[in-house]
Amino acid sequence: MDTTIKKSVTPDVMLTSRLQKIFRWETFLILIVFLVCVMNSHLSPYFLDPWNLSDATFNFTEKALIALPMAMLIIAKEIDISVAAIISLSSTLMGFVAQMGAPVYAVAFVGILAGAACGLFNGILVTRFNIPSIVVTIGTMSLFRGISYILLGDQVVRDYPDGFEFFGQGYVYWVFSFELVLFVFFALVFYWLLHRTTFGRYTYAIGNNPTASYYSGIKVDKHRLILFSLVGVMSGIASVLLTSRLGSTRPSIAMGWELSIITMVVLGGVSILGGSGTIAGVVLAVILMGLVTFGMGLLNIPGIVMTIIVGVMLITVVSLPVLITFYKNKKAKAL
Amino acid sequence: MLKRFIYSREGVLSLIVLAMFFGVGIMSPEFISLTNSISIFNDTSILIMLALGQMLVILTRCIDLSVAANVAFTGMVVAMINQYFPHMNMALLIVFCLLIGALLGAINGLFVWLLKVPSIVITLGTMSIYRGATFLLSDGAWVNSHQMSESFIGLPRYEIFSIPVLSWMALAVIIVAFWAMKFSVWGRNFYAAGGNPMAAFYSGVNVGKVQFYAFLVSGTLSGLCGYLWVSRFAVAYVDVANGFELQVIAACVIGGISIVGGLGTVIGCVIGALFIGVVNNALPIIGVSPFWQMAISGTVIIIAVIANSTSDKDKARIILRKPDETMDSAQAH
């Protein structure tokens, strides 16, 4: 029921809907995840150790928390490039509050609140002035990170209160870390929000045709504002986790994360043109990227080589469906 | 004519840049000296060339995030060629870097043209691939100034009429771009393809092919800038120009290139780049810490796009406005 809305805008959007008839993206991703697991356990005997796998989740949970609302935002035909800068600004403000001697929960609260404020700011700029979100968020990306640089300069904040390290380093039960549990919780929340509520239906509708949605009574701008704020809140939460895990704040924190978060979303089968995609796909893509990078880490492959592989994955994944459809059409013509 | 220029986006923008330039000049008079003006232009030359390439891409409703990675890769390749064959002809070397850049741009363009994959996805991928390839090629090692030949480092600094070759190159690119975008059919096609792809298609413009050309030009210019960057700073390493793609896009946005395609001028683009150049050069002079630079350029981008969206009639979104607003703007015109 989720992606059956027919699209009739441009030919290339039609291609993706044809693909959905050939095979479901999610099944394909499950296959790859399985394949990567088999490969990894072959390559390293330590891979299947539960503590090892638990460690692997720290690689992606923070980014994944932002990928969830980002998927909804991209489905609604918008994008937010400023997420990593929001992390930086929230982290900076948390650092300041912590230095003033605030208790643990106040520090975390300030981080989330700062994230929400940044998201709201993006949303207001996009909806109030009718500016494409990619431009707004390129601007706010410089602005948010710039404020961090003004406030911190080349300083590092390290004095966080005792107990703050629980958010990023603590375990809830056995190998299940607080970060992992939080991610599973939010994955379920966003699944419910996108696939089981009218809010989710409206998100698809807006992504498919904003004009038609507006005329059918959906409050398009208000909807976008909420989505941007959601992205901000989740960035704030990710900032709390990351700051707590690293135990320090510097202005260059989470540099370049916006691109890997968008990569996760696109890899998860969310169309960058809006209107289609599922939370299940995003979660699978997140796990896939986490496993691939962790497996390569076990093999001592340098991080920058991993980015090549992720880049190739991204391009293959988006061009494969198009190639398959071309091939199918050719075959149909030959018959 | 003059009145029209002053009321246009480019006019307002150049007035802002001039006001800023002379404003700083009041605080420290040597800032507005001829030598310093030349050096500001020289500092901004690479940004100008990359922004002009990016302009073509944005005009056709695409975006090229891989320019900085292209700069790093090409720069590393030519630096290594120079390291192992120090006596190679400089002209040949420049042809090399143009070709490598063009090849990397063509890869982006072919995906967009033939497979119709959204450009933001493709260039996001090639960005990490090109940057990673730079690492594989160099094994993470640096090519330092003492490993480069004198002519390799000297060429962009060589002065003709006391203006460095680097600036002359930027001037040449600006003039060619201005001519092409204003007077050649080839250049006008970029506006057509981005302004209304469907109409362009029915009037015989191959939109995909035009997008391919945009990426090809952007890649070629990035290749040239790869050499210029490496020789200017006399060092080649993996992180060369890291994050520069966003400054390039920022220059275009400040310069009034509409991100929804089809709108923007060469002059606007150049002034947008100069704006960033003047800010970067002025901050240390008026005693502001360079840590302010990012926040200032961010604020400027936001103000520029807000000004843009309120002054231009945004055709793509006008239908989403409330009916009374549409009426107001219709009456105003």
Task: Check if A202 contacts B (Cβ < 8 Å).
Answer: no
Whether the per-residue pLDDT at A87 is higher than 90: the answer is yes
Question: Both tokens of residue A186?
Answer: 């939010």
Whether the per-residue pLDDT at B328 is higher than 50: the answer is no
- Half-sphere exposure of residue A93, counting CA atoms within 13 Å on the CB side? 24
A 10 A CB-CB count for A188 gives 12
Mean pLDDT, residues B210-235: 91
Alpha-carbon distance A209 to A214, whole Å?
Answer: 9
Whether the per-residue pLDDT at B214 is higher than 90: the answer is yes
pLDDT at B103: 94
Task: Check if B306 contacts A (Cβ < 8 Å).
Answer: yes
Residue of B nearest to A320 (CA): B115
Mean pLDDT, residues B119-134: 87
Give me the phi and psi of A280, to 5 degrees please. -60, -45
Cβ within 8 Å of residue B12, ≥6 positions away: B6, B307
A 10 A CB-CB count for B92 gives 10
Whether the per-residue pLDDT at B49 is higher than 70: the answer is yes
pLDDT at A236: 95
Residue type at A277? G
Whether the per-residue pLDDT at A220 is higher than 70: the answer is yes
Whether the per-residue pLDDT at B333 is higher than 50: the answer is no
Whether the per-residue pLDDT at B128 is higher than 70: the answer is yes
| Cβ–Cβ below 8 Å for B295 and A131 | no
Rg of chain A over CA atoms, in angstroms? Answer: 21
- Residue B83 burial class via C-beta count within 10 angstroms: exposed 0-12, middle 13-18, buried 19 and up: middle
Give CA separation, B27 vs A64, A201, B22, B89, B276, in Å. 49, 58, 9, 46, 19
Whether the per-residue pLDDT at A4 is higher than 50: the answer is no
In the numeric block, the tokens 């209160």 are attached to: A161
A 10 A CB-CB count for A130 gives 18
pLDDT at A228: 95
For residue B140, the chain A residues in CB contact (below 8 A) are 302, 304
pLDDT at B322: 43
H or E segment at B287?
Answer: none
Lowest mean pLDDT of A157-166, A321-330, B195-204, name the range: A321-330
DSSP three-state, residue B159? strand
CB B130 within 8 A of CB B139: no
H or E segment at B320?
Answer: none
H or E segment at A173?
Answer: strand A171-173
Question: Both tokens of residue B24?
Answer: 């700083």
**Among A67, A112, A86, A59, CA closest to A251:** A86
In the numeric block, the tokens 């400089």 are attached to: B90
Compare B80 and B320 and report the one with higher pLDDT.
B80
DSSP three-state, residue A9? coil
| Cβ–Cβ below 8 Å for B117 and A318 | yes
Residue of A nearest to B303 (CA): A139
| Cβ–Cβ below 8 Å for A143 and B295 | yes
A 10 A CB-CB count for B280 gives 18
Mean pLDDT, residues A5-20: 49
For residue A153, the chain B residues in CB contact (below 8 A) are 289, 291
What residues form DSSP beta bridges with A249?
Answer: A157
| ipTM exceeds 0.90 | no
Q: How confident is the model at residue A3 (pLDDT cuts 50, 70, 90)?
A: very low
Q: What angle in degrees, to the nearest 10, is found between the helix axes of A303-334 and A279-298?
A: 130
Whether the per-residue pLDDT at B154 is higher than 80: the answer is no
The b-or-e profile of B227-254 (16+ CB within 10 A means b, else e) is bbbbbbebbbbbebbeebbbbbbbbbbb
Q: How far off is chain B from A299, nearest CA to CA, in Å?
A: 16
CB B221 within 8 A of CB B50: yes
A 10 A CB-CB count for B323 gives 7
Interface of A with B in 268-287 (CB under 8 A): 272-273
Give CA separation, A42 vs A36, A37, A38, A48, in Å. 10, 8, 6, 10
DSSP 8-state secondary structure symbol assigned to residue B29: G
Q: How confident is the model at residue B1 (pLDDT cuts 50, 70, 90)?
A: low
Model confidence pLDDT, tens digit, residues A108-159: 999 999 999 999 999 999 998 888 888 888 889 889 999 999 998 888 888 8
Alpha-carbon distance A5 to A307, whole Å?
Answer: 34
H or E segment at A138?
Answer: helix A133-152
Cα A174 to its chain centre, rounded Å, is 27
Model confidence pLDDT, tens digit, residues B160-177: 888 888 889 998 999 999
Task: Check if A9 contacts B (Cβ < 8 Å).
Answer: no
* pTM attached to this predicted model: 0.81
Mean pLDDT, residues B254-270: 85
Q: How far off is chain B from A40, nearest CA to CA, in Å?
A: 22
Mean pLDDT, residues A250-279: 85
Whether the per-residue pLDDT at A22 is higher than 60: the answer is no
For residue A12, the chain B residues in CB contact (below 8 A) are 116
Model confidence pLDDT, tens digit, residues A24-65: 777 778 888 888 888 888 877 777 788 878 888 887 899 999
Q: How confident is the model at residue A222 (pLDDT cuts 50, 70, 90)?
A: very high
pLDDT at A205: 93
Cα B218 to its chain centre, rounded Å, is 8
- Half-sphere exposure of residue B316, counting CA atoms within 13 Å on the CB side? 17
Q: How far off is chain A from B63, nearest CA to CA, in Å?
A: 10
Q: What percent of chain B has pLDDT over 90?
A: 23
pLDDT at A15: 53
pLDDT at B245: 83
Q: How confident is the model at residue A294 (pLDDT cuts 50, 70, 90)?
A: confident
Mean pLDDT, residues A101-113: 90
Task: Check if B288 contacts A (Cβ < 8 Å).
Answer: no
Cα A165 to its chain centre, rounded Å, is 23
Task: Check if B11 contacts A (Cβ < 8 Å).
Answer: no
Q: What angle in degrees, to the nearest 10, is found between the helix axes of A220-246 and A178-195?
A: 170
Q: What DSSP letter does each residue of B170-219 carry, written as one string?
A: HHHHHHHHHHHHHH-HHHHHHHHHHH-HHHHHHTT--HHHHHHHHHHHHH
| Cβ–Cβ below 8 Å for A308 and B320 | no
Q: How confident is the model at residue B319 (pLDDT cuts 50, 70, 90)?
A: very low
Residue of A nearest to B314 (CA): A130
Model confidence pLDDT, tens digit, residues A185-203: 999 999 999 999 999 999 9
Whether the per-residue pLDDT at B91 is higher than 90: the answer is no
| Cβ–Cβ below 8 Å for A150 and B292 | yes
Whether the per-residue pLDDT at A234 is higher than 90: the answer is yes
Angle at A85 between CA A62 and CA B263, to 5 degrees: 125
Residue type at A55? D
Cα B300 to its chain centre, rounded Å, is 17
